[in-house]
Structure 1
Amino acid sequence: MTLPLDARIYVAGHRGMVGSAILRHLRAKGHVHLITRTSQELDLRNQQAVELFFQQEQPEYVFLAAARVGGILANSTFPADFSYDNLSIALNVIHAAHKQGVKKLLNLGSSCIYPRLAEQPIKEEALLTGPLEPTNRAYAVAKIAAIELCDHYRTQHGRDFISAMPTNLYGPEDNYDLLGSHVLPALIRKMVEAREKKLPHVEIWGTGTPRREFLHVDDLAEACLFLMERFSAAGPINVGTGEDISIRDLAVLVQKVVGFEGQLVFDPTRPDGTPRKLLDVSRIQALGWSAKVPLEEGIQHSVQWFVNHRAQARV
């Protein structure tokens, strides 16, 4: 199936990192009927408002990239907010898409849906086979519920609703607020500011031993369009690079790209989170897609984006 260039496509969460990347890629491919709403214009937690929006706009395809997101600190501090907001968004958008007869919906999740100690690399079949990582359990449970909801509408109503599970993301429009950001943008901001202020060291949470996989958001956007056209099945499908790096080595790489000459000081009293989180991406690669942006090149672009857009960035 090829996405028609004149199809009515709704990108939920178009101002976020993922949604804005999907929107860029759709525009670049020549899609003309792109539907968006800011959170001020449409509160996706409001069921009545969402259903009215779907009735009025009648989207044919939906990319569900809207979510409340954050790192370990934000997830641990506001678990009720992460549960309520993400459950509400998923329930309302997926149900409205069903009622409106949307042709296809792609639901974006997260690799945190998998058990904390899942066998590495993590296969899609690992879902619901063990305990979750406590520091982001609220977010993970909401994302698992969204996958289940998509699958149930597929089973009961024949809806072509699919779920993609990206690994850790980074790129343009990332969140650089140190109280809510993920590890890579936090490292970039800390190193850039330390370099500018000529600080002697940068403090980094945890021991540096956990391993993480990082995918540039432009790669994810390309994967989302690919899956929308070429994938239809229940359950999650992983999207990643198939390679990971320790937080310590990541910090050293960011330090090199930024040009910060001070010391890196790791604080083992801070939580590490999941020990390792590497996705098995053999399924999507077998379909013909693989990531293209090398990590160091992606970090260079991200550092430049942060420096150029600091006034407008989420800091």
Structure 2
Amino acid sequence: MYARRPPLRAAHHGGVDALTAGARIFVTGGTGFFGRSLLRHWSARSAPPMVTVLTRSRAAFLGRYPEFASLDWLGFAEGDVTEAGSFPGGAFTHVIHAATESTIGPTLRPIERYRQIMAGTENALAFARACGAGRFLLTSSGGVYGAQPADMERVPETYCGMPDPLLPGSAYSVAKRASEHLCALYQDEYGLETVVARCFAFVGPDLPLDVHFAIGNFIGDAIAGNDIVVTGSGAPLRSYLHQDDLAWWLDHLLVSGTAGEAYNVGSDEAISIRDLAHLVRDLVAPHRPVRVALPLPPGPPSRYIPDISKARELGLQVRVGLSEAILSTYRELTGPR
């Protein structure tokens, strides 16, 4: 728990404040990493929209993040996104569905994970239709593309690869792809404008440090004064977008993304996991060694890097470079509380 400063970059871009100043936004997943990033983004705005967040426990969330307790534009509805009866009454202009559990999700059985994602998406879409919302933003995943071809430097939205649907381990990515199709069906059947954000990898002080996110693990190692540990070979190539940029992009896509289309959300600046570990060490723990568990394998490394040309056409940019993102994350997590 910590009190954050305003986002690293000012929150006023391209008229978004004016476009959503009178909006009423309903957010599922508003207490998770994506949701808190959005709440902090809106907090820094001169005219935040009215926002209602679906949460299992308002008291538990505010007990951990008391900085959100006294915001007159923020309200809460208690419930579970997988239960249709959890959604409140009232009218909303926009719905953001970001409620896919990324931290405990990998501990679920594949069939549980698939059902959770699909039930949550259909409930959120049905609610958007019932409450009169005109726009719906789904936070999907770059995992919908399946394995990125080794000769494809950055994967564009037009690439029609997909995860293997016959592998139980593909449950998350297959469910995300099916959720995107469900959005298209609701737009076709009911006229609900749906936009898909295919999200890649991120960094920021709200990112958990003790789960399966490599950059969070490395920053956590540095904070604890431990060696920086790479549990594999460190060969895979990844890229990281700071959570302040993430929130700006999602907010902008909610308003200005073309209905019926998907947009990659992430940085296009590739770095290997091994080099990332050394970069974290060099920036925030210069006296700690980096330990890599496995040697580099033969052949080209796996890639998970988005092409963000389409997002750039909307005026979106990577404003916070990786080094600045790592430094600011470390400083916020180790500074005065």
Map 1:226-265 onto structure 2 (within 5 A): 226-265=252-291
Shift of 1:279: 0.5
Q: Secondary structure at the match of 2:55?
A: coil
Contact 2:54/2:80 (CA < 8 Å) preserved in 1?
A: no
SS of the residue corresponding to residue 43 of structure 1 reads coil
> Structure 2 CA distance, aligned partners of 1:286 and 1:220?
16
CA distance in 2, matches of 1:181, 1:99: 37
Contact conserved, 2:183 with 2:194, CA < 8 A, in 1?
A: yes
Asked whether the equivalents of residues 237 and 303 of structure 2 are also in contact (C-alpha less than 8 Å), the reply is yes
Which of 50, 63, 82 aligns to 1:33? It is: 50
The 5 Å alignment of 1:108-257 reads 108-118=139-149, 119-129=152-162, 131=164, 137-177=170-210, 180-193=211-224, 195=225, 199=226, 201-257=227-283
> Using a 3 Å threshold, how does the CA distance of structure 1 residues 122 and 76 change in structure 2: closer, same or farther?
farther
Q: Whole-Å Cα distance in 1 between the matches of residues 167 and 235 of structure 2?
A: 18
1:45 aligns with 2:82: yes
Conserved 8 A contact 1:68-1:85: no
Q: Which moved more, 1:226-235 or 1:293-302?
A: 226-235
CA RMSD, 1 decimal: 2.7
Hey, what's the Cα distance between the residues in 2 that align with 1:3 and 1:190?
Answer: 42
Structure 2 CA distance for partners of 1:249 and 1:32, relative to 1, 3 Å: same
> Offset at 1:130?
5.8
The aligned counterpart of 1:106 is 137
Q: What is the distance in 2 between the residues matched to 1:260 and 1:86?
A: 41
Among 15, 22, 25, the alignment partner of 2:38 is: 22
In the alignment, does 2:33 pair up with 1:6? no
SS in 1 for 2:184: helix
Note the C-alpha offset of 1:308.
Answer: 4.4
Amino acid in structure 1 at the alignment position of 2:117: N
SS of residue matched to 1:109: strand
Residue 226 of structure 1: how far off its partner (Å): 1.5
Decide whether the 8 Å contact of 2:228 with 2:281 is kept in 1. Answer: no
Judge which range, 204-213 or 32-41, deviates more: 32-41
Gaps spanning 5+ residues in structure 1: where?
311-315
Q: 1:130 to 1:42 in 2, by over 3 A?
A: closer
CA distance in 2, matches of 1:244, 1:143: 24
With the length of structure 1 as denominator, give the TM-score of the two structures.
Answer: 0.84
CA contact (8 A) 1:147 1:235 kept: no
Counterpart residue type for residue 81 of structure 2 = L
Equivalents in 1 of 2:194, 2:49: separation in Å? 23
- List runs of 5+ in structure 2 lacking aligned partners: 1-15, 58-77
Mapped to 2, the partners of 1:202 and 1:217 lie a distance apart of 23
Does the CA contact (< 8 Å) of 1:203 and 1:266 recur in 2?
A: yes
Deviation at 1:76, TM superposition (A): 6.8
Is the CA contact 1:238–1:279 (under 8 Å) kept in the aligned structure 2?
A: yes
Give the letter aligned to residue 25 of structure 1: H
Q: Secondary structure at the match of 1:254?
A: helix
**Is the 8 Å Cα contact of residues 117 and 130 (structure 1) preserved in structure 2?**
no
Residues 42, 248 of structure 1: alpha-carbon distance in 2 compared, 3 angstrom cutoff: same
Map 1:45-124; keep pairs closer than 5 Å.
45-50=82-87, 53=88, 56-70=89-103, 75=106, 78-118=109-149, 119-124=152-157
Q: Normalized per residue, which structure has more helix? A: 1
Give the TM-score, by structure 2 length: 0.79
- Structure 1 SS opposite 2:54: coil
Listed one character per residue, the Cα deviations across residues 111-131 of structure 1 (whole Å, up to 9, x for unaligned) are 111121343310112244564
Deviation at 1:134, TM superposition (A): 6.5
Q: How much has 1:107 moved relative to structure 2?
A: 0.8
Q: Which amino acid aligns with 1:229?
A: V
SS in 2 for 1:126: coil
Superposition deviation, residue 162 in structure 1? 0.7
